[in-house]
């Protein structure tokens, strides 16, 4: 067993020891362990004092959850069309699960994420999500009965428990603000992490230039004099800039500078202060792709492996927060988006609100199920020729 896997098992050993010692305060509901506490209520009361700020933010949250709701539904419909036409063969939705391994593994319908990355990413979702629900409840004068933590098998969670009777009797806009608060929180975390990473953190740690690690001995780069260890700072008069978008997209870092080049084109490079005019060759594996013949990496302020871990974690955190914000905005009864839709339906037609909501929920669940199961079923019914 490697050290990473051992650290995960030690964590769960300590966790279950804590649970055992605190067992008198823990409720068991099926496969779920719940630990209620009122400690968080005092924090919520302090944070909710900026009433005007939170009311404005809560109102913005209503528009955000409606936008995310439609974006989620439209995305599911469009992906369903791609599945039907055979344009895609993998599920459009899947499960993100923790792994005791230190590397990400992915397959049709699932991603196994290194446990510590997964735990930090999940905490970045749960804490602001539940905190915003609690703050908005207090802003709207709805009592919070308890806050707490939960554990579903090995999956951690958190909750804020508002007074359901008060919430049900509150004004429609108050309900909207409370229900939309969780998705708003995750959307804000996504915005902060994405733009903070791409515009502040990445430019600081990755200033831009490219360092050559290896040169193919029969490549144009070798023929025109480039050597391993050189730093390329300019291509065709344009400063080389390794961007976060290239990192996130899995593209070569010179894609922006070399994107339109073709085999036979001449490119002008500045490496170690010297200009090199190089005629591009053809990639041995694809003759239509230009070939320079270099292996390189961005110049970084710290060790590249540490940076990959840092930006890998930040990337997963904003991706998961965005995905949860969209998913939680869907009009499914138990989700925040479903609660928003239910409040609207009850206002319009209280008598048939339950049936209408069940129908909407069923349609969205079928859409989700189709996005997940259809690619597998189509491969069985229509195996590739």
Assess whether pLDDT exceeds 90 at residue 38. no
Measured CA distances, 167 to 132, 222, 243, 356 (Å): 15, 71, 46, 21
365 belongs to a structural domain: no
Is there a single domain that holds both residue 189 and residue 257? no
**Co-location of 74 and 176 in the same domain:** yes
CA angle centred on 176, ends 175 and 177, rounded to 5° = 90
Pairing relationship of beta strands 210-215 and 144-152 according to DSSP bridges: unpaired
Domain presence at residue 39: yes
Does 272 fall in a domain?
yes
User: Are 178 and 315 found together in one domain?
Assistant: yes
Domain end position, chosen among 276, 299, 322: 299
Residue 248's CATH number: 2.30.42.10
Whether 184 and 312 map to the same domain: the answer is yes
pLDDT digits (tens, 9 = 90+) for 144-174: 988 887 777 667 777 888 888 999 899 999 9
Identify whether residues 195 and 237 lie together within a single domain.
Answer: no
Residues 13, 106: one domain? yes
Q: How confident is the model at residue 228 (pLDDT cuts 50, 70, 90)?
A: very high
- Domain membership of residue 363 (yes or no) is no
Residues 36 and 87 in one domain: yes
As to burial, measured by CB atoms within 10 angstroms (0-12 exposed, 13-18 middle, 19+ buried), residue 359 is exposed
The string of DSSP letters for 96-119 reads: EEEESSSS-EEETTEEEEEHHHHH
The closest of 164, 171, 126, 130 to 145, measured between CA atoms, is 164
Q: Is residue 220 part of a domain?
A: yes
Q: Could you tell me if 141 and 53 lie in one domain?
A: yes
Q: Is the pTM of this model over 0.75?
A: yes
How much is the pLDDT for 380?
A: 67
Place of tokens 């700020």: 53
Give residue-wise pLDDT tens across range 40-98: 888 898 999 999 999 999 999 999 999 999 999 999 999 999 999 989 889 999 998 88
**pLDDT for residue 383 is more than 60:** no
Per DSSP, 213 falls in state E
Burial 4-28 (b: 16+ CB within 10 A, else e): eeeebeeeeeeeeeeeeeeeeebee
State the average pLDDT over residues 274-287: 89
Final residue of a structural domain among 250, 275, 299: 299
Domain count, the chain: 2
149 and 37 together in one domain: yes
The answer to whether residues 231 and 281 belong to one domain is: yes
The residue range of the domain holding 263 is 207-299
Same-domain check for residues 241 and 266: yes
User: In terms of domains, do 103 and 230 share one?
Assistant: no
């Amino acid at each position: 067993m490697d050290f990473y896997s051992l650290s995960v098992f030690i964590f769960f050993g300590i966790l279950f020891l804590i649970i055992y010692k605190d067992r008198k305060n823990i409720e068991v509901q099926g496969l779920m362990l719940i630990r209620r506490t009122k400690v968080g209520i005092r924090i919520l009361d302090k944070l909710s004092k900026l009433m005007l700020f939170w009311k404005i933010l809560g109102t913005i949250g209503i528009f955000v959850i409606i936008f995310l709701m439609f974006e989620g539904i439209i995305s599911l419909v469009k992906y369903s069309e791609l599945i039907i036409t055979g344009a895609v063969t993998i599920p459009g939705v899947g499960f993100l699960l923790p792994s005791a391994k230190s590397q990400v593994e992915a397959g049709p319908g699932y991603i196994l994420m290194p446990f510590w990355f997964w735990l930090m990413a999940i905490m970045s979702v749960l804490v602001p999500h539940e905190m915003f629900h609690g703050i908005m409840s207090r802003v709207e004068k709805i009592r919070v009965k308890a806050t707490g933590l939960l554990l579903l098998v090995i999956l951690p969670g958190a909750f804020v428990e508002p007074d359901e009777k008060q919430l049900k009797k509150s004004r429609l806009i108050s309900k909207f603000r409370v229900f939309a608060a969780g998705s708003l929180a995750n959307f804000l975390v996504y915005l902060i992490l994405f733009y903070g990473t791409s515009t502040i953190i990445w430019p600081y740690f990755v200033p831009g230039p490219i360092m050559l690690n290896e040169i193919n001995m029969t490549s144009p780069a070798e023929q025109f004099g480039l050597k391993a260890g050189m730093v390329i700072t300019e291509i065709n008069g344009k400063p080389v800039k390794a961007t976060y978008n290239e990192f996130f997209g899995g593209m070569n870092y010179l894609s922006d500078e070399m994107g339109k080049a073709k085999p036979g084109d001449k490119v002008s490079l500045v490496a170690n202060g010297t200009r090199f005019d190089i005629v591009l060759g053809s990639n041995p594996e694809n003759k239509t792709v230009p070939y320079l013949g270099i292996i390189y990496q961005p110049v970084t302020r710290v060790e590249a492996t540490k940076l990959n871990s840092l930006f890998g974690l930040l990337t997963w955190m904003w991706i998961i927060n965005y995905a949860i914000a969209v998913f939680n905005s869907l009009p499914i009864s138990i989700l925040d988006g479903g609660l928003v839709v239910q409040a609207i339906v009850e206002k319009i037609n209280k008598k048939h609100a339950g049936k209408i909501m069940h129908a909407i929920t069923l349609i969205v669940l079928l859409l989700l199920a189709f996005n997940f199961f259809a690619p597998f079923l189509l491969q069985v019914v229509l195996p590739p020729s």
